[in-house]
Chain A
Amino acid sequence: MDNNKTTTKIQELTYELKIDDVMCKNIETVSSKMPISQLRDVLYKKRISGVPVVNDDKLVGIVSIEDFIKCMEQEEMDALVEDKMTKNIKTLYADEPLVHAVKKFEKYGFGRFPVLSRKDKKLVGIITKSDIIKGILKKLESVYHDEEERRYRASHIFNDIVADEVFLKFQYFVEGKNFDKAGEASTGLKKTLYRLGLSPDIIRRAAISTYEAEINIVAYTDGGEIIAYIDPHQIKIIIIDKGPGIPDVEKALQPGFSTAPGWVRELGFGAGMGLPNIKKFTDKMTLRSTVEKGTHLEIIIKLSDYRNED
């Protein structure tokens, strides 16, 4: 970002942010009948240089460390806060844009302004220059983060491409018997779907189903592949391998049925829940298998709620 652009962005933020977004809400107050001598504790313990004076929820003044020091010099420590506080105070409303606070700080040179709610004029916070700086920095950070994220988002792709029909195809290769790599295809697909801007529920269902199928390729075959086709209406994922195939598909689909060897079980799989899980999380599931030839699993997840981000 060049200098000019940063300045404009910060100016923009001072209009966008409300005083309520940056002010300190956890405020200390004192009552007007408190003796000045007790002020020391309040200011010292909270490490603040001034505190609003409030009677029955109504802001009546502000008393600062300077007032305290003056009283000390003139040996008036028994005086009440109401006699020494500043009475005609400038305030801000919580719903005002930050730029109003910036202007008031420039105009009056005060260290802080009490903030009132517009509705009932009650004290709701206090704002200092450092609150403004902190608030803007925090906002800049989140703006930057959002921009980064958007750069990775490809959800506009379906809108940008001009064609009667658009299919995106993603292909992943899965190694057999290599449990260290198992999951790479599904987690890769998950990240891709996220960048396409699909809804979290859809992504989760697709990722879990693909992951269970990927684990099966790793556990039972010498390898295979996963191909995902995405169009504006659905995700179709095809998971294929070259054998050994499933002798009884009907049985394999039953919850609890498993031929998993010990090493698969030790890794937390092989409870016979993989295929039933896939069925549960998808809108359509077709399993075809020929012994010695291989297995072909096709799943479909509908995108009725496809989020068309602009």
Chain B
Amino acid sequence: MKLMEIEEILEAEVLTGEYDPEIEIEIGCSSDLMSEVLAYGEPCSILLTGLTNIQVINTANVADIKLVCFVMGKIPDEKIINLAKKNDITVFITKLTTFESCGRLYKNGLKSCSYFDLDK
């Protein structure tokens, strides 16, 4: 799924300016717990979250997440946007709830991150 498609499906607003239209978003995850996001064995391409602090972007950075979408109309502050831009992470915001956002993306064919197993 391309970023433009996701922007449409989530009725999202882009906070990081122009994005690369070729980036392919294949796997999604959603959580307000960053350790949970970090535990996935494979890189997700999109993270949906209601948490809006700078560690969301650091988490996306270390876990190779390309797109962060803040849900329920939460607006992150400038510092967060700047850090995202510096690390080539695209930031969307949507007024939709987490459930609605995930539901719409899933229905449109976006795959979920695989189940993770902490016991290896």
Rounded to whole Å, the gap between the CB of B60 and the closest CB of chain A is: 10
Taking the closest CB of chain B, its distance from the CB of A200, in whole angstroms, is 7
Question: With contacts A255-B118, A280-B118 known, is A187 near B35, CB below 8 A?
Answer: no
Note all chain B residues with C-beta closer than 8 A to A179: 53-55
Answer whether residue B63 sits at the interface, using C-beta atoms and an 8 A cutoff: yes
Q: Does A276 contact B (CB under 8 A)?
A: yes
Q: Is the CB of A267 within 8 A of B38?
A: no
Do A271 and B58 touch across chains, with their CB atoms under 8 A apart? no
**Residues in chain A near residue B79, CB distance under 8 A:** 180
Q: Is the CB of A280 within 8 A of B33?
A: no
Report the minimum CB–CB distance from B74 to chain A (whole Å). Answer: 13
Is A244 engaged at the interface, CB distance under 8 Å to the other chain?
A: no
Chain A interface residue number, banded: 20 to 34
Query: Do the beta carbons of A187 and B54 come within 8 Å of each other?
Result: no
B98 to A: closest C-beta gap in Å: 14
Minimal beta-carbon separation of A100 from chain B (angstroms):
29
Please tell me which one of the listed residues B41, B43, B51, B55 contacts residue A183 in the complex, with CB atoms under 8 A apart: B55
Measured in the bound complex, the distance between the Cα atoms of B22 and A28 in whole Å is 25
Of the candidates A211, A270, A279, the one whose C-beta lies within 8 Å of that of B38 is A211
When C-beta atoms are compared, the residue in chain B nearest to A203 turns out to be: B64
A273 to B49, alpha carbons, bound, how many Å?
18
Report the Cα distance A180→B58, complex, angstroms. Answer: 10
B66 to chain A: closest CB distance in Å? 13
- Please give the distance in Å from A141's CB to the nearest CB on chain B: 13
With A274-B35, A277-B38: A207-B53 Cβ-Cβ less than 8 Å: no
B81 within 8 A of A: no
Quick one: CB contact mask for B31-52 with A, threshold 8 Å, 1 for yes? 0111110110101000001010
- A267 x B118 contact (CB < 8 A): no
Contact B35 A182 (CB under 8 A): no
Known contacts being A211-B38, A277-B35, A277-B118, is A267 close to B62, with CB within 8 Å?
A: no
Contact count A vs B, C-beta below 8 Å: 81
Does any Cβ of B come within 8 Å of A241's Cβ?
no
Q: Is the CB of B58 within 8 A of A186?
A: yes
A268 touches B39 (CB 8 A): no
Q: Is the CB of B62 within 8 A of A207?
A: yes
Among B32, B43, B54, B62, the residue within 8 A (CB) of A186 is B62
B61 to A, closest residue via Cβ: A187
Cα(A280)–Cα(B51), bound, Å: 25
With A255-B118, A271-B36, A274-B35: A200-B64 Cβ-Cβ less than 8 Å? yes
A208 touches B (CB below 8 Å) = yes
B108 at the interface (CB under 8 A from A): no
Total number of B residues with any Cβ neighbor in A under 8 Å = 25
Question: How many whole Å from B116's CB to the nearest CB in chain A?
Answer: 8
Q: Which of B56, B63, B120 sits near A204, CB closer than 8 Å?
A: B63
A48 to B35, CA, bound (A): 56
Given A183-B54, A268-B51, residue A208 in contact with residue B63 (CB < 8 A): yes
CB <8 Å contact, B38 and A208? yes
Q: Does B97 contact A (CB under 8 A)?
A: no
Please determine whether B55 and A187 come into contact, CB atoms closer than 8 angstroms.
no
User: How many whole Å from B89's CB to the nearest CB in chain A?
Assistant: 11
In B52-89, which residues have CB < 8 Å from any A CB?
53-56, 58-59, 61-64, 79, 87
B residues contacting A by CB (< 8 A) are 32-36, 38-39, 41, 43, 49, 51, 53-56, 58-59, 61-64, 79, 87, 118, 120
The 30 listed contacts between A and B (C-beta, < 8 Å) are A179-B53, A180-B54, A183-B55, A187-B58, A187-B87, A190-B61, A200-B43, A204-B43, A204-B62, A204-B63, A208-B62, A208-B63, A211-B38, A211-B62, A215-B55, A255-B118, A267-B53, A268-B35, A268-B49, A268-B53, A268-B59, A269-B55, A273-B33, A273-B36, A273-B118, A276-B39, A277-B35, A277-B38, A280-B39, A280-B120
Give me the 9 closest cross-chain CB pairs, A-B, nearest first: A183-B58, A273-B35, A207-B62, A268-B34, A211-B62, A276-B118, A255-B118, A268-B51, A271-B35
